[in-house]
Amino acid sequence: MTVDRTPLVLVCGPRGPLEAVTTSLAEPGTAVVHHDLSGVEAGVVTRRTTRVDADGQARVRDVALGVAGCCVDCMLRMDLLPLLRTLADDAAVRRIVVRLDPLLEAEALCWAIENTVVTGMVGRVDAPAGHDVRIEAVVGCVDAASFLGDATGDEPMSAYDDRTVAQVTVGNARHADVLVVADTAPDRWTAARLTAVLARLAPRAATTWIAVNETPADLLAAVPASSRRGAVDDAHAPLLDGAPPLTEDCGVQLLEISDRRPFHPGRLHEAVDVLLDDVVHARGRLWVATQPDAVLWLESAGGGLRIAAAGRWLAAMDAPEYDDVSVARRAMAALGWDDEYGDRAQSLVVLLAGADPEHVHRVLTDALLTDAELADPGSWTTWEDPFGQYHEDPCETDEPRASTTESTLPRNTGKARE
């Protein structure tokens, strides 16, 4: 990794505040890159590169990119990542700003910048874009009037995209280092509820409220020292990182669920429906009795939920596999190691926005094994398991749609509000 890398700022969120924030960052010596996906269904993406010279003059160049036979995610990897490396090599470019189309997720792009190797650039070593740029900040834009409805809904992004609006809305806010909130809230109660949600969803982010059409100033000075700056959590990272408030505020609160008992697969499959209403976000690690070696990762946003494979429990690993695990994960597991179950446990955090915490807790804990079931482990593997690797959830009746983003985890099963 080179020492002197060009600072990179990613800006994501709805178009209104997105434009104001991008304008505020377009200082002399900045290159602003934006891929317009409004014509993607017709097979066309327009890439606009704006270079702001030392005298403040902006030079704009538009390039039409065909995406026929190629998903948007692949196109961005083939076009944006090499472009970042090229711009970083230009001495006149002191900072790069990438304005993400509202269809895109900052977390997926951050992962690609650090991990996707760019090959075939003349005179350059094969390396990720992170070899030449460093993520200075992710700025998340929020529209106060629409955020809560988007974050708790189940509308799909489009007919060709299997993600939901909630998934993108929640994900971009959660991954931000600075949140810029356009104060379009219809009343102060809505604004107060939104404040409570953001404090628990993105506790490491600084939050700035702006009036409609206001251009914010000094955003990068607000980036906290503890911010993630593009770092992507894995499934074994702390779930309450950033010390979010654990008390209730405006009907908004975090609910923790932890237990040593495994889940019954059938009852869990029914119980997770409780996470689809009046819940902004849920995430955590699950132990299902029928899969004693496997860590399952649950993540929800609004009315959509996914459960994915996330590796193996430490207690199921042989010595060589265990030695490859990070020291941080081993240390955390050692703090709660159980003589019988090892590190196997339930660890789930749910961000409620109106749902009854006692009801949610009761429904989920009722899906854990009973004392009688726990005493008969020989029967566990005989139970039907809807979370198997090749499972197609019966709750999904439509044909799968092509996604415009690449998940950092394989998504094996999904549920949506019916």
* Rounded Cα–Cα distance for residues 149 and 153 (Å): 6
Closest by CA position to 189, among listed 252, 275, 277, 282: 252
* Rounded Cα–Cα distance for residues 174 and 195 (Å): 13
Using CA atoms, how far residue 134 sits from 6, 7, 32, 87, 209, in Å, is 6, 5, 15, 13, 27
* Rounded Cα–Cα distance for residues 306 and 413 (Å): 6
Summarize the confidence of residues 117-128 as an average pLDDT.
93
Q: What does the pLDDT look like over 271-293, one tens digit per residue?
A: 999 999 999 999 999 999 999 99
Query: Do 62 and 205 lie in a common domain?
Result: yes
Q: Within a domain: residue 199? A: yes
What was the pLDDT predicted at 236? 93
Cβ atoms of 302 and 147 closer than 8 Å: no
Q: Residue 414 — very low, low, confident or very high, per pLDDT cuts 50/70/90? A: low
Mean pLDDT of the chain: 89
Q: What does the pLDDT look like over 181-200, one tens digit per residue?
A: 999 999 999 999 999 999 99
Sign of CA dihedral 244, 246, 248, 251: positive
Cβ atoms of 341 and 374 closer than 8 Å: no
Query: Do 109 and 171 lie in a common domain?
Result: yes
Q: What does the pLDDT look like over 384-396, one tens digit per residue?
A: 999 875 333 345 4
Query: Do 214 and 257 lie in a common domain?
Result: no
* Rounded Cα–Cα distance for residues 102 and 11 (Å): 10
Q: Residue 16 — very low, low, confident or very high, per pLDDT cuts 50/70/90? A: confident
H helix intervals, 161-264: 165-174, 188-201
In CATH, what number is assigned to the domain containing residue 111? 3.40.50
Q: Within a domain: residue 239? A: no
Q: Within a domain: residue 260? A: yes
Query: Do 37 and 137 lie in a common domain?
Result: yes
Q: Within a domain: residue 22? A: yes
Segments forming the whole domain that contains residue 329: 252-416
Number of structural domains the chain divides into: 2
- The β-bridge partners of 77 are none
What was the pLDDT predicted at 391? 37
